[in-house]
Structures are given as C-alpha cells and as structure tokens.
C-alpha cells in the first residue's frame, strides 16, 4: 500500500493507479472490479478492517464488496440512492452505450446487502459524507475537515483513458447519467477547498491551482 495522507493508503495496482481502492483508517473505500479480488485480498492480508464503504455502485467500484464483507464479517455501506443497485434490484452502472454494457458484463461483482445506508453529513473513518450525484445517483465524496483531504470517487478523474497519462478530467458522458449534475458536484468539491483529492481513477491530485483552472473552465449549465 502507498500512504497518501495520515491514516489513508491506496492499495497497490500495477503498472499504476488506474482503478483505485483506498484504506482510510480501518475502512476499505471502494472494492474495484470483480477480477481485482486477488490483489485486494493480498493487500489486505494481516490488515484489520471494520467496514467497506463505496463512493458509488458502479462495476469498477463494487466488484469485490460482497467477497470482502463476507470474508471479514464486516458491514457494507453506500449512499441511499445506490442501495437498490448494490442489492441487485436495479442496474449497476450508468447508460446503455456499448462500453458501459461491456464493463457491466465483465466487471460487476455479485449483489450484497447494504448494512449501513449513508446520507449527507454521516461520518466514515473521520470523513464527512457529501452527496455528489451526476456520475452515479448515489455518488458521494468523503471529506476530512481536519486536513481537507477528499476521496471523491468518479466526480473527477486524474487519468486519460486513452493514453493513461495524468490529467484532471470529467468522467465520460457515456458513463454518467447526468453530466450537468456531475459538474455541479465538481463545483461542490471545489467549494470545499481541498488540499488533496484522491480520485477513483489515476494518481492523487496535488496541484490545486491546476484543479481550480479545470473547474473554472467547465461549461456553465
């Protein structure tokens, strides 16, 4: 694991951070794709966890949630608006375009009961829960007031899916049910004045001037 902030680590992924899984104190935040099971279990060997909490229920974030929860006997948490998807009563992921449907088929993990339903203002591992819909109905940001660290799921990404090079971007429209709503969530993230942003995809965002310029250039909806 790589330590990114006090009490926060990112699980290893080779060749680099593409689909991120974080450990915040003793809470696993997100659970990768279903084929990430081996790497997640290897990284968690000897590590005590108390909960699995999801930034949102998409195939590359909920994939191993059921298996980790069952193996460790820990509860699963996600936002109220994603409970039906996590428990198998609604589709996982957004959109009907070809690429999202392929990802759904090959990445989605099995459904699992949500033990803790998150809402705005709840606390997870010292982080405040902020509802940030747009990419997913139940997308949340985990924000720690003490040092302004934000774990933001797919509200923004820091990678090009074509070149794998870092760069702050919006999530792809074809994987986002409401891009305009997601831009409002990006502005909500910016209003927090984060010192460090840990996205669901790509390396940590450490250049806040770059992030500020990115937000300022977003379309006005």
Band the pLDDT of 9: cuts 50, 70, 90: very high
Band the pLDDT of 5: cuts 50, 70, 90: very high
- CA 73, CA 142: separation in Å to the nearest integer? 23
**DSSP result, 157-186:** EES-TTT----EEPPPGGG-S-HHHHHHHH
Contacts of 135 (CB under 8 A, 6+ apart): 56, 58, 94, 153, 154, 155, 171, 175, 176, 177, 182, 185
- CA 130, CA 108: separation in Å to the nearest integer? 25
| Torsion of Cα atoms, 168 then 172 then 176 then 182, to 10° | 30
**pLDDT, tens digit, 9 for 90 and up, residues 41-93:** 999 999 999 999 999 999 999 999 999 999 999 999 999 999 999 999 998 97
pLDDT confidence of residue 127: 98
For residue 16, is pLDDT > 90? no
Contacts of 175 (CB under 8 A, 6+ apart): 58, 93, 94, 95, 97, 99, 100, 103, 135, 154
For residue 157, is pLDDT > 90? yes
Q: What is the CATH number of domain 2-216?
A: 3.60.15.10
**Domain range summary for the chain, segments of one domain joined by +:** 2-216
pLDDT confidence of residue 162: 84
**pLDDT, tens digit, 9 for 90 and up, residues 178-214:** 999 999 999 999 999 999 999 999 999 999 999 999 9
For residue 30, is pLDDT > 80? yes
Distance of CA 23 to the CA centre of its chain: 12
- CA 123, CA 156: separation in Å to the nearest integer? 22
Query: pTM score, two decimals?
Result: 0.95
**pLDDT, tens digit, 9 for 90 and up, residues 80-130:** 999 999 999 998 976 666 677 777 877 899 999 999 999 999 999 999 999
pLDDT confidence of residue 94: 65
Distance of CA 80 to the CA centre of its chain: 15
pLDDT confidence of residue 96: 63
Residue indicated by tokens 């909920």:
62
């Amino acid at each position: 694991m790589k330590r990114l902030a006090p009490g926060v680590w990112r699980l290893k992924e080779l060749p680099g951070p593409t689909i991120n899984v974080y450990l915040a104190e003793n809470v696993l935040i997100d659970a990768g794709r279903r084929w990430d099971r081996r790497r997640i279990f290897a990284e968690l060997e000897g590590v005590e966890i108390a909960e699995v909490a999801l930034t949102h229920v998409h195939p590359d974030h909920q994939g191993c949630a059921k298996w980790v929860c069952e193996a460790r006997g820990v509860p699963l948490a996600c936002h109220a608006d994603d409970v039906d998807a996590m428990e198998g009563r609604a589709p996982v992921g957004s959109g009907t375009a070809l690429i999202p449907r392929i990802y759904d088929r090959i990445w989605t993990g099995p459904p699992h009961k949500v033990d803790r339903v998150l809402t705005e203002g709840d606390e997870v591992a010292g982080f405040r829960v902020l509802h940030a819909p747009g990419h997913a109905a139940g997308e949340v940001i985990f924000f720690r007031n003490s040092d302004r660290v934000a774990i933001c799921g797919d509200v923004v990404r820091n990678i090009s899916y074509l070149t794998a090079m870092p760069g702050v971007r919006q999530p792809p429209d074809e994987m986002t049910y409401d891009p305009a709503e997601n831009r409002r969530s990006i502005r909500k993230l910016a209003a927090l004045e984060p010192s460090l942003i840990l996205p669901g995809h790509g390396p940590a965002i450490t250049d806040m001037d770059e992030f500020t310029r990115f937000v300022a250039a977003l379309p006005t909806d």
